[in-house]
């Protein structure tokens, strides 16, 4: 099965074994000529299954019983993410919300509460706040600024839009009893930031990603956000980051 999808302003041709990947990406369908092609084989699906098993063993948990069509969705996005650095873009694991047309990106290890923090912003700000992507946005880096894009891969609750906004600030989330949000230098949070960026297997693509990340950090407001699960956490963070 074949389709063309415009993700982060890049047209991508996708040839798959199953139709579910095309249903997943339908809101991003395009009729333009593809900038590059992604072709999935059974070997790509098997690789995702092996990777999932290794991760489960490393984390000491039971592996997920994933179907081939679901694993194909992962394989497609992995191949897309491998190519994006050649277009000055990279995938980032985080939750991004737009307020007054500007993007606020939250990141942390899984389970820390970045999606919960985004939800608190939506509750606090109401219609002013729009979800861009709740899991895996793509970031474009250029001399004129940083742009963050919604993608089809927007988390288990499918929270996000096919939109793009300039990135204003990035917050690293920590759990705490009392709320605070303070500006920080990139050197203090760099190890945590780099863990949330997709790192391509190709050395050239990896080098391009690292260069783009450094440029992003130099042009973006950076904050350490210590927060609880109360709506006051959103107020504290928004007041600091805006």
Domain coordinates in residue numbering, the chain = 2-87, 89-241
Please report the pLDDT score of residue 157 as a whole number: 86
Note whether 168 and 105 are within 8 A (CB): no
- What pLDDT, on the 0 to 100 scale, is given for residue 239? 97
pLDDT of the residue at 55: 86
Taking residues 199-221, report their average pLDDT.
97
Q: What is the pLDDT of residue 65?
A: 85
> pLDDT band at 203, cuts 50/70/90?
very high
The alpha helices in the chain, defined as continuous H runs, are 20-24, 42-59, 68-83, 114-125, 186-195, 203-219, 232-241
Predicted local confidence at residue 109, as pLDDT: 85
What's the pTM?
A: 0.94
pLDDT higher than threshold 90 for residue 205? yes
Burial of 108 per CB tally in 10 Å (0-12, 13-18, 19+): buried
Structure confidence by residue, pLDDT tens digits, 86-123: 999 999 999 999 999 999 999 988 878 889 999 999 99
Per residue in 134-162, pLDDT (tens digit) is 999 999 999 889 999 999 999 888 999 99
What digits encode the pLDDT tens for the residues 222-232? 999 999 999 99
Using CA atoms of 67, 73, 79, 83 in order, give the dihedral in degrees to the nearest 10.
-170
Question: Is the model's pLDDT at 164 over the cut of 80?
Answer: yes
Integer angstrom CA distances of residue 11 from 4, 72, 188: 7, 19, 36
pLDDT of residue 4: 98
């Amino acid at each position: 099965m074949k389709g063309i999808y415009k993700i982060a302003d890049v047209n991508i041709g996708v040839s798959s074994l199953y139709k579910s990947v095309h249903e997943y990406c339908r809101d991003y369908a395009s009729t333009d000529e593809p900038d590059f092609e992604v072709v999935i084989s059974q070997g790509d699906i098997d690789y995702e299954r092996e990777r999932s098993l290794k991760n489960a063993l490393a984390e000491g948990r039971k592996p997920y019983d994933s179907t081939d069509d679901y694993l194909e969705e992962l394989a497609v996005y992995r191949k897309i993410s491998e190519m994006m650095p050649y277009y000055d873009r990279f995938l980032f694991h985080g939750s991004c919300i737009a307020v007054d047309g500007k993007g606020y990106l939250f990141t942390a290890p899984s389970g820390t509460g970045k999606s919960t923090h985004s939800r608190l912003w939506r509750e606090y700000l109401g219609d002013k706040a729009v979800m861009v992507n709740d899991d895996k946005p793509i970031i474009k880096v250029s001399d004129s600024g940083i742009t963050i894009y919604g993608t089809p891969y927007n988390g288990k609750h499918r929270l996000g839009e096919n939109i793009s906004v300039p990135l204003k600030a990035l917050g690293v989330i920590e759990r705490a009893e009392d709320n605070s949000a303070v500006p920080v230098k990139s050197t203090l949070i760099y190890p945590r930031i780099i863990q949330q960026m997709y790192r391509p297997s190709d050395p050239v693509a990896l080098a391009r990603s690292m260069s783009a990340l450094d440029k992003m950090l130099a042009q973006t407001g950076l904050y350490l956000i210590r927060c609880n699960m109360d709506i006051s956490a959103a107020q504290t963070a928004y007041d600091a980051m805006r």
